[in-house]
Structures are given as C-alpha cells and as structure tokens.
Amino acid sequence: MPLVVSDASPLIFLAAAGRFYLLRHLYGSVVVPTKVFQEVTQAQPSLPGAAEAGQAVVDGWMQVKTPAATPLDGWLRSLLDEGESQAIALALEIGAAGLLMDESDGREIAGHLGLKPIGTLGILLRAKGAGLVPAVKPILTELRQRHSFRISDDLLARALAAAGEVP
C-alpha cells in the first residue's frame, strides 16, 4: 500500500464522521508530522480525531515524525500554518505517495512541489470505489451540517456524480 502523510483536517473530519478506519483500510500506514499529531490529540483532546489518532499510533499503523529542518521548511512556514508546512515537508522528505490535506493553499503548493494531495472528499470517493462505504452523500451531508466541513454546492454535485449518486 502507498505511504501517505496526513495533515489534521482529514483526520478530524473522518473521525467526526465515524470513518477514521478508512485511513487504515485504504493506506495501511499513515505518517503524521509531530505538529499535526499535537494539534489533533493535545490542542483539544475532546474533539474528533484525538482518541482515534492516539489509538492508531498505539496500534502501530500511524507513525509520528518530525521533518528535518531545511530552507524549504522556513519558506513553507512563511506561507502556511506549521502543521500544513510540516506535512508537505515530511511528504517530500520520505517520498510519500500522497498527502492527505483539505486546505486549498496547502494543496496548491503541494501540487507545485510534485506531491499528490487528496482531501477528505477524495478519501471518501476512494472508499466508495473500494466498497468500504455504501454512499458518500450521507457522510458529506453530516460533515457539512454538523462539523463545519466546507464544500461548494458545485463541488458536492460533481463529487456525487463521480460517486454515481444523485445530488
């Protein structure tokens, strides 16, 4: 399975939707930068993702690593928050096959650096294609209504069409 690095938002949103397990089933192993792990598990430990990420580390399918300090890291931190910049730097450092990230600025920069970013929406579409979830529409509806998941109506309609579901 491909090695991926994750930023905080996919971990939080998948946990909020009760679908954190998809990460293990789709990717086998996930690497999380130290800052992202702290953000998810320590900043607000009662929020979705905290217990799940902690347990994933204990279970051994999630690893926490700190990227090496490089000039790229400083440049990234001038443009993005520390978690996003660490996720991009770590993905480049370890040669990750993918970068799990929702934030558009981070995804754009990652793409320019040769990474393949995939967001929560892409993870859910992949999960549906693999038969791990029967439908993405109810998951996306719940995330939008209860967990402040931002997605335009146009993108939602395109995603549902790609999933073979009625908008």
pLDDT along the chain (167 residues), means of 10: 90 96 96 95 85 96 93 86 94 94 94 94 96 95 90 88 87
The CATH number that domain 4-121 falls under is: 3.40.50.1010
pLDDT at 71: 83
pLDDT at 1: 66
* SS3 sequence of 39-87: HHHHHCCCCCCHHHHHHHHHHCCEEEECCCCCHHHHHHHHHCCHHHHHH
Spell out the domain ranges in the chain: 4-121
